[in-house]
Amino acid sequence: METASTPTHCPYCALQCGMNITPLPRGGVEVSERPDFPVNRGALCGKGRTAAQVLSPAARLTTPLVRSGGRLVEAGWEEALDRIAGALSSVRAHSGPDALGVFGGGGLTNEKAYALGKFARVALGTSQIDYNGRFCMSSAAAAGTRAFGLDRGLPFPLEDIPRTGCVILVGSNLAETMPPSLRFFTELRENGGTLIVVDPRRTRTADQADLHLAPRPGTDLALALGLLHLVIAEGRTDEEYIRERTTGWEEARAAAMAHWPEYVERITGVSVPLLRQAVRMFCEPESAMVLTARGPEQQSKGTDTVGAWIDLCLATGRAGRPLSGYGCLTGQGNGQGGREHGQKADQLPGYRKLDDPAARRHVAGVWGVDPDSLPGPGRSAYELLDALGTDIRALLLMGSNPVVSAPRAAHVEERLRSLDFLAVADVVLSETAELADVVLPVTQWAEETGTTTSLEGRVLLRRQAVAPPPGVRSDLYVLHELAARLGVEKGFPTDPEAVFAELRRASAGGPADYSGITYRRLAEEDGVFWPCPAPVPAEGDGGDGEDALFDVEPDAPDRDGGAAPAAPAVHPGTPRLFLDRFATPDGRARFAAATHRATAEEPDAEYPLLLTTGRVVSQYQSGAQTRRVAELNAAAPGPFVELHPRLAARLGAAEGDPLAVVSRRGRAVAPARITDSIRPDTVFMPFHWPGEGRANTLTNPALDPVSRMPEFKSCAVRVEKVRRPAGHG
């Protein structure tokens, strides 16, 4: 008998590519293409094709572990949960609720992210919660909210990209980070559009560009301001648009005019002729887009940097119009949804602000608690990790591996070791889980149902395709059981659809309104774009209050088998934002008026080079899962130091020689990879590996003052050749 396939979505990046999962007769599952899903049309990268291998019990955790005699040993679920609840209760009793920390992940489903934020604030009463998404797109979120009144990674679907006239892609190597998305840019060029890539390295993505600009790391802000200066000087601004749809132009204009082309060339290393060429390519078509990723965002001035690129769009009338706009290429699988529903330090579900009294009243009403009982905003991700072992004595961590992924990682590892108690819920025994007092094995993508929100703002349903191994439980089960042990018997259901129903109520009326989205709709459609408010029953139609707004399904039969009363129109979702007005109080977009400033750590005589970090195609984030897949490890077996031939010659280094990269925070060692695709003043390391090649040992935790994003993309280093021991082959 043929086994039915389950349509679902990839567990990795924010494209959330569609795929089918089919159980095999002798065990295991097969991943196959799903050509009907519009984002990837069946295409899968190597990570997606091999995703099922991490479902194997041999690759993952299948039983709880507790620390005994300095070692992690197997234990039962009751013992493990009792230990966690006992430790959390003890710390809270002795040191108060804010001595408890919660750290989440951008890969958690919307249901898990929502429940985790509620658990922190209701069951624990702590303000100390944040998540690793703070390290990924928080600067773009802050800049987008400041400019437009709302942050959604892409305010338009990916399908619009091939139909625009020009795209400036800033700090993204999507050929390696999101390979299936590259076809949209290939189609753009086939349709006569142009692609400009801004990156210090000539990456596989930059090889596809019509124009590659290679600025010095940390100078993207000056580059954007220089382009805006030329737009103004050459008379390419859209004055009618500026007058009718924006505010703050005079201040932004003055800031840009202080960044004349020759000055910007000195800062960035990008020549004036290339700056002028970029402006012509961007301004001459009727439509154009700017897309940013981690390059400009992971800086101590990331919010202003993204704001300057948004200013370029606003000054030329390229925002809130068909086939034009600014967008952020969100990275993690649920990086968008993860920041919308409450695991971020300053937010409540629906993208509501935690310090907004009306938002507190609404969410507290859904949760059945006193608004005054909700704690205020807490620390951002790095600040939370930095406080471990001092103000924060115990930590519950779900779906993150900061030992590898956090900046100044050796220091973060030390802070984790200093805790009184650490509990980790994860799929695999990550480097962070190895430090825990209790480790809980939890379900993953194909073993559970839940929703994610893609980089387009498209809410998607991941369906359970296989049963988890015996001994594995869901994160929702973990939170339910811990809440009960902490005295909160109700409010933490284990059924994801029940959690989503509550999320819909909590988000209703908020910026990220999911109230009109149901599991049934998601099962029948290719996702629904938020905001999507619930339908409002017409007056006198027999609706019974707020509950009716969330329970109605169109054309449902009544109990006697007859036709149901006409249901209110279902909201179609919002694929394209800002076409009529922006989400600000006056409907106008706001210019940022930023001014270039140096990185937090500039090169000097002791540390004369700049380090920038990033990903490779065959690994993902901290590598905790992909490093367990043989095919991916064969393609990308370990870290490396990418450097220019001129720098290699000065060091006397050959391809493959071990090199030490040293910053003010530590030292990392990896083989040399020599290429002329990188600037001579810059070295690059991928960040997927622990141990002596851990790139984040080196990175600088200097924070953006608005987004609290660390400066991953630029720090001062020196490079040294490592002498091999005598007799080493």
Write the CATH number for 659.
2.40.40.20
d(CA 246, CA 578): 12
Residue 525 lies in a domain: no
First-to-last CA distance in the chain? 56
Residue type, 513: D
Does residue 588 lie in a domain region?
no
Q: Tell me, what CATH number does 17's domain have?
A: 2.20.25
For the stretch 654-680, pLDDT in tens is: 999 999 999 999 999 999 999 999 999
* Spatial distance between the Cα atoms of 602 and 219, rounded to a whole number of angstroms: 11
In the predicted model, is pLDDT for residue 538 greater than 80? no
Q: What type of residue is 35?
A: P
pLDDT, tens digit, 9 for 90 and up, residues 213-255: 999 999 999 999 999 999 999 999 999 999 999 999 999 999 9
Q: Is the pLDDT of residue 553 over 50?
A: no
Q: Give the residue-averaged pLDDT of 438-461.
A: 97
650 and 667 in a single domain? The answer is: yes
519 belongs to a structural domain: no
Please tell me the predicted confidence (pLDDT) of residue 2.
Answer: 57
**Residue 250 in 3-state DSSP?**
helix
Q: Percent of the chain having pLDDT more than 90? A: 91
Same domain for 345 and 280: no
The structure tokens 């790391």 sit at: 217
In this predicted model, what pLDDT tens digit does every residue of 379-429 receive, in sequence order?
999 999 999 999 999 999 999 999 999 999 999 999 999 999 999 999 999
What is the band of 539 on the pLDDT scale with cuts at 50, 70, 90?
low
Answer whether residue 728 shows pLDDT above 60. Answer: no
Residues 496 and 444 in one domain: yes
- Whether the pLDDT of residue 706 is over 50: the answer is yes
Q: Does residue 600 form part of some domain?
A: no
Cβ–Cβ under 8 Å, residues 31 and 629: no
The phi and psi torsions of 149 (rounded to 5 degrees) equal 85, 0
What size, in residues, is the chain?
A: 729
Decide which of 459, 488, 505 is a domain's last residue.
505
Q: Is the pLDDT of residue 108 over 50?
A: yes
The CATH number linked to 277 is: 3.40.228.10
How far apart are alpha carbons 221 and 596 in whole angstroms?
6
- Same domain for 231 and 320, yes or no, is yes
Helices (H) and strands (E) in the chain, counts: 24, 30
Count up the domains in the chain and report the number: 4
Run of H or E residues at 80: helix 77-95
User: Contact at 8 Å (CB) between 128 and 102?
Assistant: yes
Kindly report, residue by residue over 168-225, the tens digit of the pLDDT. Answer: 999 999 999 999 999 999 999 999 999 999 999 999 999 999 999 999 999 999 999 9
> The domain that contains 362 carries what CATH number?
3.40.50.740
Q: Are residues 128 and 268 in the same domain?
A: no
Tell me, yes or no, whether 287 and 219 share the same domain. yes
| Domain match, 218 and 280 both | yes
pLDDT tens across 255-279, in order? 999 999 999 999 999 999 999 999 9
Residue 544, pLDDT > 60, answer no
Same domain for 382 and 368, yes or no, is yes
Do residue 26 and residue 79 come from a single domain? no
Using CA atoms in the order 568, 528, 531, 48, what is the torsion angle rounded to 10 degrees?
A: 160
Q: Provide CB contacts within 8 A for 560, sequence distance 6+.
A: none
Task: Decide if 92 is inside a domain.
Answer: yes
CA 558, CA 565: separation in Å to the nearest integer? Answer: 8
pLDDT exceeds 50 at position 126: yes
pLDDT at 726: 57
Does 357 share its domain with 288? Answer: no
Q: pLDDT digit string (tens) for 563-597?
A: 555 667 899 999 999 999 999 999 999 999 999 99
Confidence at residue 277, expressed as pLDDT on a 0 to 100 scale: 98
| Residue 662 included in any domain | yes
Domain range for 158: 138-329
pTM (2 decimals)?
A: 0.94
| Whole-number pLDDT of residue 47 | 96
> Within its chain, how far is the Cα of 347 from the centroid?
16
Residues 167 and 207 in one domain: yes
Are 353 and 492 within one domain? Answer: yes
> Beta-strand (E) ranges in 455-608?
458-462, 528-529, 589-590
Band of pLDDT at residue 723, cut at 50, 70 and 90: confident
* pLDDT tens sequence across 609-622: 999 999 999 999 99
Close Cβ partners of 697 (under 8 Å, ≥ 6 residues apart) = 408, 409, 410, 663, 665, 666, 667, 668
Residue that finishes a domain, picked among 505, 526, 554: 505
Look at residue 422 and give its three-state secondary structure: strand
Residue 676 domain flag: yes
Q: Give yes or no for residue 543 having a pLDDT over 60.
A: no
The confidence score (pLDDT) of residue 536 equals: 73
Question: Which is more confidently placed, 3 or 542?
Answer: 3
Q: Is the pLDDT of residue 469 over 70?
A: yes
Average pLDDT, the chain: 94
In 208-223, which positions are buried (b, 16+ CB within 10 angstroms) versus exposed (e)?
bbbbbbbbbbbbbbbb
Residue 580 included in any domain: no
- Using DSSP bridges, classify how beta strands 289-292 and 166-170 pair: parallel, antiparallel or unpaired: parallel
Can the peptide bond before residue 531 be classed as cis, meaning omega within 30 degrees of 0? yes
The string of pLDDT tens digits covering residues 594-650 is 999 999 999 999 999 999 999 999 999 999 999 999 999 999 999 999 999 999 999
Task: Answer yes or no: are the C-beta atoms of 295 and 199 closer than 8 Å.
Answer: yes
The residue among 463, 471, 456, 625 whose CA lies nearest residue 529 is 456
List Cα–Cα distances, 145 to 375, 380, 594, 704, in angstroms.
Answer: 23, 18, 15, 15
Alpha helices in 463-568 (DSSP H): 475-485, 496-507, 519-524, 546-551
Domain boundary among 277, 306, 329: 329
Residue 293 CA from chain centroid, whole number: 10
| DSSP class per residue in 343-398 | -STTEETTTEETT-HHHHHHHHHHHTS-GGGS------HHHHHHTBTTTB-EEEEE
